[in-house]
Chain A
Amino acid sequence: MTKHYQIFKVYFVSVTLVLGLSLLMTSCQEEFFLEESVTANQFVVEGYVEAGEGTLPSYVLITQSVPFFDELNPDEFASLFIDNASVAVNDGDKTVQFTKICSDAVPDGPIKDELAMTLGIDFDSIDVDICIYIDLADELTREEGRSYDLTINIGNDQLTATTTIPELVRLDSFSFEEVPGEVIDSLAQLFANIADPEGQTFYRYFTDDDNGILNTAFSSVTDDSTFDGQDFRFPISQADATDVDFDTYGFFNVGDTVTFKWTTIDAAHFKFWDTFEFSLNGQGSPFTSYTRIAGNVEGGFGIWGGYAVQFEELIVDKTE
């Protein structure tokens, strides 16, 4: 519900503006040319370590930021990926050196599928090599309550980050119900129930989007400030699809099988996605100021995040 507040805040501002002004005058929009400036690229880290049934070995992507004025064609996209890094993760007991594998060498299977989702690319359709760093032998001890130190060396640059996998707080039941308002037979709204423990916890979830890829909704993270220590039932939105229809946003198609990924994350990991999504969703609102994304990577930008994961396969059926 914390997120409800954010949604409503942005929402009411937009609605007020629309209501108040569109009736009175027509606003006009045109391209605006920023002052040209020289911007140095910075290293961008995206790496995860997960614990739980069905989770994959840990991996790290290292890219570079793109200066605002650059245009990025597909070839240049591949060149964003850093392929000369040394990546190591310490799980408290041992240090594991990650292996670089490039797109032409990624074996078919779940890892390739997940990378395809994360990168948004079809490995079979690109000609250039995209390289990632992965705990290929799955040597890290991936479990709840453990911390993981990431160290990346690229030439003379060093990037470091630490994350933890907190204890998983599972969702204990699910139900598909009629959508609010006018009934639509072909759509259902998903509700889940959680027994939230005392103390601050942070959550993030993913569902299949309408392309069948695990993705996130408008707002995918929340803390438990509105339901701390309670049994709590709440609606879950389906992940963003390409076209968002406000009338049917977040609802599931009856008859579909949905993969649902529920995770518990630590505070820094929450802060990253909270700022990331607020920045993303604030685009286009006249009243939100800029939001700087709070990464947890020293020496660069990005996220090294731990997830405690619960996977569920759900059939969308309102009769159950």
Chain B
Amino acid sequence: MSQTITQFLRITCVVFIGLFVYTNGTTQSTFTVSGYISDGISGETLIGANVYQASDPSQGAITNVYGYYSLTLPEGNYELVYSYLGYSDQRISVNLSKDIKYDIELSQGVVMTEVTISAEEQEKDSNVESTQMGVVALEVQNIKKLPALLGEVDILKTLQLLPGVSSAGEGSSGFYVRGGGPDQNLVLLDEAIVYNTGHLLGFFSVFNADAIKNTTLIKGGMPANYGGRLSSVVDVQMREGNKKNYEAEGGIGLISSRLTFEGPIQKNKSSFLISGRRTYALDLAQPALKGGDFEGTNYYFYDLNAKLNFTLSDKDRLYFSGYFGRDVLLFAQPVRDFQFELPYGNRTATLRWNHLFSDKLFFNLSAIYNDYNLEFSGGQADFTFNLLSGVRDYNLKLDFDYYPNPKHVIKYGANYTYHKLTPNTASASNGETDFESAFEPKYGQEVAFYIQDDWKVNEAFSVNAGLRYSFFNQLGPYTSKLNGQEFDDLEIVETYGGLEPRLSAKYSLSKASSLKGAVTLNNQYIHLASNSSSTLPTDLWVPSTEIVAPQRAVQYALGYFQNFKDNSYEASLEVYYKDLRDQIDYSDDQVPTISEEDEDQFVFGIGRAYGAEFFLRKNYGNLTGWVGYTLSRTERSFTDIEDGRWYPAVYDRRHDISVVANYEIAPRLELGGAFVFGSGRHFTPAESFVFIENKLNILYAGRNTSNLPDYHRLDLSLTYTPKQKKEYQKFKSTWNLSIYNVYNRKNPFFIFYDSDVDNGATSLQAFQVTIFPIIPSISWNFKWNQNPQK
């Protein structure tokens, strides 16, 4: 491994030095204004904020994920506009006769009217102007206004309300994007991969909204700086903490409570944030269980997010962020001396160093650790067992953002990841005999280099051209299953890799409309196969090996983007076709076992997904929200499943509609609503039944040849902010009333069969189970600020 890392660093350094020399060697009559854009109250940097020339909005720049911007213009006097959605613009006059460093703070609280001034167009028409397609950014403050199941604000469930994204099941935070599997989504929390995104079997996501700043979903036209997954990127950034004042935020809900505390370490220079959440529904039930058959049984989950950031100098910033979350299920049946414990969860840690090599060259170095593990242990009397599985990554990332002039934003970088994947390793003992499963962890390293240029060719035409090269090595220690060859530590067993071109382009048809197209190729080296109808924490991540080839996908997308009414409404129509190779599944006679490795039970096939997505969004005014409609088809074909017949994947949704709205009834009263409709999920129906050994059993029809009834549901929420005694009050609170499934639609969660004997006649019946009827919930949220400001 050390050789690979050395090689990796050497190549990266050569590229970096070349570009650095180029950057500094360029003689110019242009100068650069650069800096950070941040929130005026908290000092939090703002991602995706704009700065542009007032007289020519096309001459502008956007802040990166660290809030940094760099705008290079010819020498001269300019009026620059700094803007960000929901914040009031700031205009400054600059005499650009030298490079200028200018950090700026924007103030929140301006209510946008539907009549806009021209200076705001730059920001609002990014939907039309940017080369990116299939990208949606959601701010937590907006997500918090929407209805939530049991009052638990959930970022991933909000993403499911976007076209092209569908839920993995009733109430599930798991999601499928454009016909891709749940493992094909790259979910990042401050750059660390989150392998398991759900608590309580996926009903709640691991993201505590109070600790989150920004969430971006990329479902098509994935830029070259992302890789390793086929279908989407969900890039979640944690908040940095208030740099000016101490602040506390929290809430009490039906099943959990949250508390976040943040503040400056050194005012305006460094800050911290710590945020926790824990459920307590079953803790409260403990007295009732005491003395009963199940005394000691409990279930809870918790999350802990922490972040520190330091401004070391004008050119250097340091961030440390971490996440630790666990689900714990304890089951006890004292009367039979039986108990088991099932803890599982993620841990991530990210250390990032931002450095400005010049005003035009922004550098970030990230060292990331993440793991997900699941342990299942217990026993009865002398018999004990323990089952362990998980994935652990060590990741080093170098990213450069280079801003030579307003026409180009060049990004390049490299990424190295060392993976350790532990299969279901079991140990057991009956008091006399011990058992240890023979499965060893698998090791791999993943390396990627990328470069991309977001190039405004002319007023109408822009292109984002990127190239990513990635490869993956399966590493020893390992004994080949194919020929028995033994591999030592870090010895290369198998190599996969290839170029991943990424191209997207935009052509403006008018000031308010554009055509976009994208072609992307992605490789995926780590896989998750599930033999369940939903996503479960027990689903196992496995690497590419000598037996399992990487998954590959090519996606083609075309889109028409149109804004209306001075950009108050944005609309889009996107069509896509996705060709999937080396897809993984289990055969349909698979039985989970610890006697055979999962990869030996896999079958391999191909897939295709295509569809059209319509999206209409209103960003301003008392009424905001969106309408999304997706028409799509997703199919798979596996030689070992019904001789390769193309069947609709479980991810297939023919029609999917979402209507999301937020209406400000009065200054302190907001109504939120979400309606979803989806074609019924495919399932494999019973076809006939047989009697063998006097037991009735079921023979099934072809895979996914039937549909559950259509899914639809309306959720509503009301957020009330009590009147404050003083204008600048330290303590503020809100009440949120949510009603999930307002009209009590009985959406089926699953189907099961049971035989019925009536007057000696035997018949088989199917039953549907609905788990979420109408569910009202209430939560109380508060915020305390040491020094409240307007």
Picked from A41, A226, A283, A287, the residue with its CB within 8 Å of the CB of B595 is A226
Q: Would you call B690 and A283 a contact (CB within 8 A)?
A: no
**Residues of chain A with a CB closer than 8 A to B770's CB:** 27-30
**Residues of chain B with a CB closer than 8 A to A302's CB:** 690, 692
State in angstroms the CA–CA spacing of A30 and B336 once bound together: 34
B531 CB, min distance to chain A CBs, angstroms: 6
B200 CB, min distance to chain A CBs, angstroms: 5
Q: Which residue of A lies closest to B771 (CB)?
A: A27
Confirm or deny: A182 has a beta carbon within 8 angstroms of a beta carbon on chain B. yes
**Residues of chain B with a CB closer than 8 A to A73's CB:** 759-762
> Which of A4, A288, A289: most chain B Cβ within 10 A?
A289
B273 CB, min distance to chain A CBs, angstroms: 29
**Residues of chain A with a CB closer than 8 A to B593's CB:** 2, 5-6, 225
Q: Mark B530-545, 1 if CB is under 8 A from A, else 0.
A: 0111101010000000
Confirm or deny: A278 has a beta carbon within 8 angstroms of a beta carbon on chain B. yes
Q: Would you call A25 and B771 a contact (CB within 8 A)?
A: yes
Binding stretch for chain A, among B395-403, B606-614, B750-758: B750-758
Q: Would you call A13 and B771 a contact (CB within 8 A)?
A: no
List residues 176-192 of chain A with CB under 8 A from any CB of chain B. Answer: 179-182
Q: Would you call A32 and B376 a contact (CB within 8 A)?
A: no
Q: Would you call B201 and A16 a contact (CB within 8 A)?
A: yes
Q: What size tier do the contact residues of chain B reach?
A: 35 or more
Q: Would you call B692 and A276 a contact (CB within 8 A)?
A: yes
Confirm or deny: A21 has a beta carbon within 8 angstroms of a beta carbon on chain B. yes
Q: Would you call B763 and A32 a contact (CB within 8 A)?
A: no
Confirm or deny: A67 has a beta carbon within 8 angstroms of a beta carbon on chain B. yes
Q: Which residue of B lies closest to A182 (CB)?
A: B335
List residues 243-278 of chain B with CB under 8 A from any CB of chain A. Answer: 254-255
State in angstroms the CA–CA spacing of A28 and B746 once bound together: 8
Picked from B693, B698, B700, B769, the residue with its CB within 8 Å of the CB of A46 is B693
Confirm or deny: B687 has a beta carbon within 8 angstroms of a beta carbon on chain A. yes
Q: Would you call B697 and A293 a contact (CB within 8 A)?
A: yes
List residues 2-40 of chain A with CB under 8 A from any CB of chain B. Answer: 2, 4-6, 8-9, 12-13, 15-17, 19-21, 23-35, 37, 39
Known: A280-B695, A284-B752. A234 touches B687 (CB 8 A): no
Known: A29-B768, A29-B769. A5 touches B592 (CB 8 A): yes
Q: Would you call B692 and A44 a contact (CB within 8 A)?
A: yes
Picked from B688, B695, B772, the residue with its CB within 8 Å of the CB of A65 is B688
Q: Mark A202-240, 1 if CB is under 8 A from B, else 0.
A: 000000000000001000000101110011111100000
Q: What size tier do the contact residues of chain A reach?
A: 35 or more
B454 CB, min distance to chain A CBs, angstroms: 43
> Which of A26, A280, A290: most chain B Cβ within 10 A?
A290
Confirm or deny: A106 has a beta carbon within 8 angstroms of a beta carbon on chain B. no
**Residues of chain B with a CB closer than 8 A to A227's CB:** 433, 435
Binding stretch for chain B, among A117-125, A167-175, A308-316: A117-125
State in angstroms the CA–CA spacing of A34 and B684 once bound together: 11
**Residues of chain B with a CB closer than 8 A to A105's CB:** none
Q: Would you call B697 and A233 a contact (CB within 8 A)?
A: no
Q: Mark B405-422, 1 if CB is under 8 A from A, else 0.
A: 000000000000000000
Q: Would you call A118 and B694 a contact (CB within 8 A)?
A: yes
Picked from A20, A32, A118, A292, the residue with its CB within 8 Å of the CB of B201 is A20
Picked from B538, B684, B685, B698, the residue with its CB within 8 Å of the CB of A289 is B684
B137 CB, min distance to chain A CBs, angstroms: 32
Binding stretch for chain A, among B24-32, B424-432, B517-525: B424-432
* Count: A-B pairs, CB below 8 Å: 254
Binding stretch for chain A, among B38-46, B491-499, B583-591, B718-726: B583-591
Q: Which residue of A lies closest to B595 (CB)?
A: A225
Q: Would you call A180 and B338 a contact (CB within 8 A)?
A: yes
List residues 71-122 of chain A with CB under 8 A from any CB of chain B. Answer: 71-74, 77, 80, 117-120
> Which of B590, B595, B690, B752: most chain A Cβ within 10 A?
B690
Q: Which residue of A lies closest to B150 (CB)?
A: A24
State in angstroms the CA–CA spacing of A118 and B693 once bound together: 5
Binding stretch for chain A, among B75-83, B380-388, B623-631: B380-388
Q: Would you call A9 and B692 a contact (CB within 8 A)?
A: no
Known: A15-B329, A276-B692. A35 touches B433 (CB 8 A): no
Known: A24-B255, A230-B433, A279-B698. A286 touches B690 (CB 8 A): no
Confirm or deny: B353 has a beta carbon within 8 angstroms of a beta carbon on chain A. no
Confirm or deny: A1 has a beta carbon within 8 angstroms of a beta carbon on chain B. yes
Confirm or deny: B3 has a beta carbon within 8 angstroms of a beta carbon on chain A. no
State in angstroms the CA–CA spacing of A60 and B763 once bound together: 25
Known: A68-B686, A68-B689, A181-B334. A12 touches B381 (CB 8 A): no
Q: Would you call B773 and A283 a contact (CB within 8 A)?
A: no
Confirm or deny: A158 has a beta carbon within 8 angstroms of a beta carbon on chain B. no
Q: Would you call A275 and B591 a contact (CB within 8 A)?
A: yes
Picked from A4, A5, A29, A182, the residue with its CB within 8 Å of the CB of B336 is A182
**Residues of chain A with a CB closer than 8 A to B437's CB:** 225-226
Confirm or deny: B282 has a beta carbon within 8 angstroms of a beta carbon on chain A. yes
Q: Would you call A63 and B690 a contact (CB within 8 A)?
A: yes
Q: Would you call A65 and B381 a contact (CB within 8 A)?
A: no
> Which of A2, A63, A223, A303: most chain B Cβ within 10 A?
A2
Q: Which residue of A lies closest to B770 (CB)?
A: A28
Q: Would you call B329 and A66 a contact (CB within 8 A)?
A: no
Q: Which residue of B lies closest to A120 (CB)?
A: B694
Picked from A23, A46, A231, A290, the residue with its CB within 8 Å of the CB of B281 is A23
Q: Would you call A226 and B340 a contact (CB within 8 A)?
A: no
Confirm or deny: B297 has a beta carbon within 8 angstroms of a beta carbon on chain A. yes
State in angstroms the CA–CA spacing of A25 and B534 once bound together: 20
A191 CB, min distance to chain B CBs, angstroms: 9
**Residues of chain B with a CB closer than 8 A to A279's CB:** 697-698
Q: Would you call A12 and B340 a contact (CB within 8 A)?
A: yes
Known: A25-B771, A223-B595. A1 touches B385 (CB 8 A): yes
A200 CB, min distance to chain B CBs, angstroms: 9
Q: Would you call A9 and B767 a contact (CB within 8 A)?
A: no
Q: Would you call B285 and A23 a contact (CB within 8 A)?
A: yes
Q: Would you call A32 and B751 a contact (CB within 8 A)?
A: yes
Q: Would you call B299 and A2 a contact (CB within 8 A)?
A: no
A178 CB, min distance to chain B CBs, angstroms: 9
State in angstroms the CA–CA spacing of A6 and B760 once bound together: 34
Q: Which residue of A lies closest to B435 (CB)?
A: A226
B420 CB, min distance to chain A CBs, angstroms: 23
List residues 259-291 of chain A with CB under 8 A from any CB of chain B. Answer: 271, 274-276, 278-280, 283-291
Q: Would you call B773 and A25 a contact (CB within 8 A)?
A: yes
Confirm or deny: A70 has a beta carbon within 8 angstroms of a beta carbon on chain B. yes
Q: Mark B322-356, 1 if CB is under 8 A from A, else 0.
A: 00000001010111111010100000000000000
Q: Would you call B432 and A12 a contact (CB within 8 A)?
A: no
Confirm or deny: A198 has a beta carbon within 8 angstroms of a beta carbon on chain B. no
Confirm or deny: A294 has a beta carbon within 8 angstroms of a beta carbon on chain B. yes
**Residues of chain A with a CB closer than 8 A to B336's CB:** 179-182, 247
Picked from A33, A63, A68, A287, the residue with its CB within 8 Å of the CB of B764 is A68
Confirm or deny: A148 has a beta carbon within 8 angstroms of a beta carbon on chain B. no
Confirm or deny: B113 has a beta carbon within 8 angstroms of a beta carbon on chain A. no
Q: Would you call A39 and B688 a contact (CB within 8 A)?
A: yes
Confirm or deny: A301 has a beta carbon within 8 angstroms of a beta carbon on chain B. yes
Q: Which residue of B lies closest to A33 (CB)?
A: B766
**Residues of chain A with a CB closer than 8 A to B707's CB:** 35
State in angstroms the CA–CA spacing of A235 and B338 once bound together: 14
- Pull 6 A–B residue pairs with CB atoms less than 8 Å apart, ordered by A: A12-B342, A29-B769, A31-B766, A225-B596, A276-B697, A286-B750
- Interface on A for B, CB 8 Å cutoff? 1-2, 4-6, 8-9, 12-13, 15-17, 19-21, 23-35, 37, 39, 41-42, 44, 46, 63, 65-68, 70-74, 77, 80, 117-120, 179-182, 216, 223, 225-227, 230-235, 247, 271, 274-276, 278-280, 283-294, 301-303
6 tightest CB-CB pairs across the interface, nearest first? A225-B595, A120-B694, A181-B337, A180-B381, A32-B768, A181-B336
Give 19 A-B pairs besides A8-B387, A31-B767, A291-B588 with Cβ atoms closer than 8 angstroms. Answer: A8-B376, A9-B538, A16-B201, A24-B254, A27-B771, A39-B688, A41-B688, A44-B691, A68-B686, A73-B762, A118-B693, A180-B337, A181-B333, A225-B437, A226-B435, A290-B698, A291-B589, A291-B590, A303-B692
